[in-house]
Structure 1
């Protein structure tokens, strides 16, 4: 049994039984349904409502409401018959529960939409890595951020980044051997130039971080260079090796003596800023691919509600925002705008409030039986003295 399919069938069945339920489903769109037949039926039912179908004013609902909807929807999809329409009617337990069924349909659409756009971002990041570019990855990251903001408004929540309590279980995708070899070579050349020309650190230290290196050993060695530069100490292969030893890189096996020798002996003419931009470009595409995989793993978790899902997805995109800002600083570009819109200081927009209220109906207030008791103002109750408070606590403990 598929819960999403059952929810879609129950929703269409509720509208076939009671056309007035469409007035509670204005926040739901036909493309939120998974099955094309359900999309066509919901669009046809809306069109009949907008055209003032006679069934809207008749009680009980005539059979023409169902037959006209099937006939209109059949022009957009194949295999739709009146028999299936009666199956949908039988699948609806309570027509009055249509807003709840619609919430389930919207929840499924949110998971599917985020999965699709995260997949596109991952594909764009991989393609940019092959071509040595970042534009497509950043473009699809902005598209995904816009989709998350729109889905948050439809669901009735604020698009705020939220750190997941349990990180998504994703297996890091191994880069292509050619890409890994090229990225490692660029990193080795950059470290060799920085070790040979200490003044070159001034050109990259402002925007290049150890986490931008694909090889953890290279990132730790760059951290050693940054520490020497920050303390104003001389930088050469001896001081760099000593700093690596002090940080335990040689003892724990992060950096071997052969690796260190290969880096320091592989120096040649080169620009530290240009090599740093190559490392940053690789970091942008790598971060975009990692964020996309994390978001896709979150969206495929059906137990995650749409609100937390959107917040966790925005949090994953935040990592890319930070790398993008430093990439633009390396290229002398303007600061990037964050993908996640800032929350309104005066509360959520009215459209979000309407969406949240439309998805459910608050229960009617039931007055309590018996004699009403007058509310006691806190100011009218005299505070207990220290002795009275202690005696009261002692009595509660004895009980």
Structure 2
């Protein structure tokens, strides 16, 4: 089977520890093949890289590169063991004949080699998903990357491609989701710039004649500050009712939603919703959505890691859980692409895609135009 077209990444699967039972399955498989080399034909698709142990990888590579001796020769002379040792030793210098004898002695039943091979494949699949999930977590959490959204989504695409490739190596099987609790969405305390960006957007939406169109990609959960998300929900409620939108009407809805408290008086809430005239609404909406998309990509990687690090999950459970996590990311990703991708001209649908809205980034308003905190 051809290998998937996957970009090189800065990780080595030999650095990912195997599940406890995987090591013994590798030993049992190699022992079976030392005892009965013809069992190589019964394993299905198995690659040397599927082994977690470097010495085991070298031994299996030697077995696949050599021609097994005839059965009558194999039963009388240790030519197979000697040939495997000589071929594997340059890649595994600590390998000894005594260890190969140990592998043969620890194999419970050579006829079970296909079952041992399936365990080895499953271990490789788990380690592969772990490595790519770690790469996604690192990419989505590294603000120093150039074009971080594209890098994070590329890492997610790579994870999805690897998942599909691995699934082809296993029989189709329906499975429930992993029982492992998914990690909570990381809560990051918004810094001053985050707070100001979100308040600036809320004020701009209140001043916008058609706020639901300007923020058609956003959801309340996209805001870092939960209060800002609830205020955004209040604005959407007013818009859905068809009522006029301005800071006072949104404040009225906020009162009905229980947002006005002694610790958060109406004057402070009103201040968050005013002075948004002239603000580039779509730009700041994209800023908020960009943070939400990267946060979801980060959570997706953490979720897959939690699944792969729980040894009680079968591969098919990992498959189902990873696909669910990627689907959650896809929902935010679709909104991100609608926000940043090309749009069709309003005058005709046959004129072809219009250029993206990319242009000079609107300057961040000065302190005098920011909404009061």
Q: State the TM bucket, normalised to the shorter chain.
A: 0.7 to 0.9
User: Could you say which residue in structure 1 is the equivalent of 2:88?
Assistant: 73
Change in CA separation of 1:44 and 1:252 when aligned onto 2, cut-off 3 Å? farther
| Correspondent of 1:42 among 60, 82, 95 | 60
| 1:27-66 deviation line (CA, Å, top 9, x unaligned) | 1111111110001101110111xxx332456452631101
Change in CA separation of 1:209 and 1:174 when aligned onto 2, cut-off 3 Å? closer
Mapped to 2, the partners of 1:57 and 1:252 lie a distance apart of: 91
| 1:165-211 deviation line (CA, Å, top 9, x unaligned) | 64624255454x6x744333221110111122343432222x22212
Change in CA separation of 1:198 and 1:256 when aligned onto 2, cut-off 3 Å? farther
| Correspondent of 2:285 among 253, 272, 276 | 276
User: Could you say which residue in structure 1 is the equivalent of 2:235?
Assistant: 225
Change in CA separation of 1:84 and 1:165 when aligned onto 2, cut-off 3 Å? closer
Mapped to 2, the partners of 1:23 and 1:99 lie a distance apart of: 10
Does the 8 Å CA contact 2:180/2:310 hold for their aligned counterparts?
A: no
Does the 8 Å CA contact 2:38/2:68 hold for their aligned counterparts?
A: no
User: Could you say which residue in structure 1 is the equivalent of 2:226?
Assistant: 216
User: Could you say which residue in structure 2 is the equivalent of 1:236?
Assistant: 246
> Structure 2 matches for 1:43-122, cutoff 5 A?
43-48=61-66, 52-55=67-70, 58-60=73-75, 62-122=77-137
Does the 8 Å CA contact 1:284/1:327 hold for their aligned counterparts?
A: yes
Does the 8 Å CA contact 2:139/2:148 hold for their aligned counterparts?
A: no
Mapped to 2, the partners of 1:170 and 1:61 lie a distance apart of: 57
Does the 8 Å CA contact 2:32/2:39 hold for their aligned counterparts?
A: yes
Other structure's SS at 2:95 match:
coil
Change in CA separation of 1:64 and 1:165 when aligned onto 2, cut-off 3 Å? closer
TM-score by length of 2: 0.80
User: Could you say which residue in structure 1 is the equivalent of 2:210?
Assistant: 199
In our comparison, the structure showing a higher alpha carbon Rg is 1
Q: CA deviation at 1:26?
A: 3.1
| Correspondent of 2:181 among 160, 165, 168 | 168
Mapped to 2, the partners of 1:228 and 1:105 lie a distance apart of: 58
Are 1:295 and 2:304 matched, yes or no?
yes
| 1:251-273 deviation line (CA, Å, top 9, x unaligned) | 698x7647524412464641110
Larger RCO (alpha carbons 8 Å, 6+ apart):
1
Mapped to 2, the partners of 1:114 and 1:61 lie a distance apart of: 44
> Structure 2 matches for 1:309-324, cutoff 5 A?
309-324=318-333
Q: CA deviation at 1:129?
A: 7.4
Other structure's SS at 1:127 match:
coil
Change in CA separation of 1:75 and 1:278 when aligned onto 2, cut-off 3 Å? same
| 1:222-241 deviation line (CA, Å, top 9, x unaligned) | 11111111221011222111
Give the unaligned 5+ runs of structure 2.
1-18, 344-373
Does the 8 Å CA contact 2:178/2:317 hold for their aligned counterparts?
A: no
Change in CA separation of 1:166 and 1:65 when aligned onto 2, cut-off 3 Å? closer
Other structure's SS at 1:155 match:
coil
Does the 8 Å CA contact 2:223/2:292 hold for their aligned counterparts?
A: yes
CA RMSD in angstroms, aligned pairs only? 2.6
Instruction: Point out the structure with the larger helix share.
Output: 1
Other structure's SS at 1:154 match:
coil
Other structure's SS at 2:46 match:
coil
Give the unaligned 5+ runs of structure 1.
335-399
Question: Number of aligned pairs?
Answer: 325
Does the 8 Å CA contact 2:36/2:110 hold for their aligned counterparts?
A: yes
| 1:354-393 deviation line (CA, Å, top 9, x unaligned) | xxxxxxxxxxxxxxxxxxxxxxxxxxxxxxxxxxxxxxxx
Mapped to 1, the partners of 2:34 and 2:301 lie a distance apart of: 40
Change in CA separation of 1:198 and 1:260 when aligned onto 2, cut-off 3 Å? farther
Does the 8 Å CA contact 1:224/1:243 hold for their aligned counterparts?
A: yes
Mapped to 1, the partners of 2:307 and 2:239 lie a distance apart of: 40
Are 1:149 and 2:164 matched, yes or no?
yes
